[in-house]
A and B are shown apart, each in its own frame.
Chain A
Amino acid sequence: MNQYQEKLSAFLDGELSETETRAIEKALESDAELQAELETLMAADRVAKDEFAAILGEPVPFELAKAIQDAPEDIVANDPGAPRKGTGWLTAVAAVIALAIGGSGGYWAGLTQGNEVVAAPGWLQDIADYHTVYAAQKRHLVEVPASERDHIQTWLTNTVGADVRVPDLTAQGLEFQGARLLVAAGKPVAQLMYLDANERVVALCQIQTETPRDGFAEQSIQNFGMVSWGGENSNFVVVGDEGRSDLAEIAQAAATQV
């Protein structure tokens, strides 16, 4: 048994020490058997990702969401502001539908199999829709908090299918709050949330594409200002209140770091 074979999975997962990682990298340069083993494990990993991703595409049973909606909630200590009027059962229905559509759009299996799904122009409209919902959040602005930056980058990179990095926008007066995973135009989207000093939300969203757009573009959708651009293997957009005059500057700063 090759001394490194047992550690190849940990190598793949970035869980080895730097010394061990270098040793395996060096061994891989000249050890054809080890290379073949690594490729075998990577192929197995791709299959696992594809098949597990396909499960996400299955519609969530309506009864399950309904049971959650109807269940009593111990809200006293957790969420003094809740329940919140205006997010009624239609929102629950929409959430379930969005989940179902997100998966059934064919993306989840397609991406990991290498089948390109071009980032549809409609993704910005979806982003605006999401921003309407999430920018109003206070306690639940993000799914994963900023304290887990490394996990966010790993998680979203694996899910979105493109390298996701969290840019430091403190020079633009923005503090990173954390991230969410969205589905827009049938594809997963990384949404990085920032707050400015006035607690206004600015989101940086990233969608994987083989055909990133050229240059920067500014536009307004649903009273939100947007500056979009293309980067390596991805399209990006910065979203904020329409009245903001610094979105282009924020986008430029982000573009140099993502």
Chain B
Amino acid sequence: MAVGRASPAYPEPSCALAPFIPLLSLGVLIIGDVTCEDCMLTDFKRDMIAVLPRLRRFARSLTRSVPEADDLVQEACLRALSKSHQWDPAQPLDRWLFRITRNLWISEIRKRKVRLGEGHIPAEESAELITTETGESRVAFSQLQGKIAALPSDLASVLLVVSVEGYSYAEAAELLDIPIGTVMSRIHRARKTLAQKIADPVGGVQ
């Protein structure tokens, strides 16, 4: 069930959503015509919320960590809201949000490298950084479940964008800000790496 009927017995809303969190976890569906003047939701925000599952998944492919992905998505959404005048409605909102998310992540990776004393790095190399086996990244690895956990971020994100999201190579190149040839080679490497993991689930993937 996607959108339910009004619940006439529902109490007057008070902006305090906390009491309804259990309803969320139970999957109970409530929607009504009740309007809270303090908490009006714009079309833009509602459309943004509709994209959240896919945005979180994309962020997960970048960060490989659930909490980091959610932090990244939240930051990206707040950034998008603050700059919504820059969004061209002729452009798909999801693509715009994906791009903001990706750019924020690259920026974050650069900051981390600087903090670690490794200096500034070019954007095209940023995506590789989180694949290094530092202690931090190993923790992150453990939070991406399944065989796709065998994929480093640069491969996982390309595979997601092309194979799952259905973007063309050209669109993926633009979205991820990498050359189209890199998209082509990365998606092949991603599938090969995954195939290797399938064939040898306990073995390491080079």
Contact = CB atoms under 8 A, between A and B. Distances in A.
B44 A71 contact: no
Contact of A51 (B42, B48, B147, B169): B147
A95 B50 contact: yes
A93 B191 contact: no
B43 A137 contact: yes
A158 B160 CA distance: 12
B142 interface: no
5 contacts: A6-B188, A43-B195, A96-B24, A97-B30, A125-B1
B31 A83 contact: no
B86 to A, nearest CB: 8
Nearest to B44: A79
B30 to A, nearest CB: 6
Contacts of B87: 78
A69 B192 contact: no
Interface string B83-101: 1110101101110000000
A13 B163 contact: yes
Contacts of A55: 53, 56-57, 60
A211 interface: no
A83 B40 contact: yes
Contacts of B15: 89
A67 B3 contact: no
Interface stretch (A126-134, A193-201, A223-231, A232-240): A126-134
Contact of A145 (B48, B92, B165): B92
Interface stretch (B69-77, B107-115, B130-138): B69-77
A89 B13 CA distance: 9
B1 A101 contact: yes
Given A65-B49, A89-B17, A151-B167, A98 B2 contact: yes
Interface SS of chain A: helix
* Interface band, chain B: 35 or more
A48 B148 contact: yes
B156 to A, nearest CB: 9
B90 A145 contact: yes
B165 to A, nearest CB: 7
Contacts of A76: 85
9 closest cross-chain pairs (CB), A and B: A155-B166, A77-B85, A82-B42, A94-B31, A44-B194, A129-B3, A9-B188, A51-B146, A83-B40
B82 interface: yes
A140 B91 CA distance: 11
Nearest to A55: B57
A100 interface: yes
A3 interface: no
B123 interface: no
Interface string A66-106: 11111111111111011111111111111111111111100
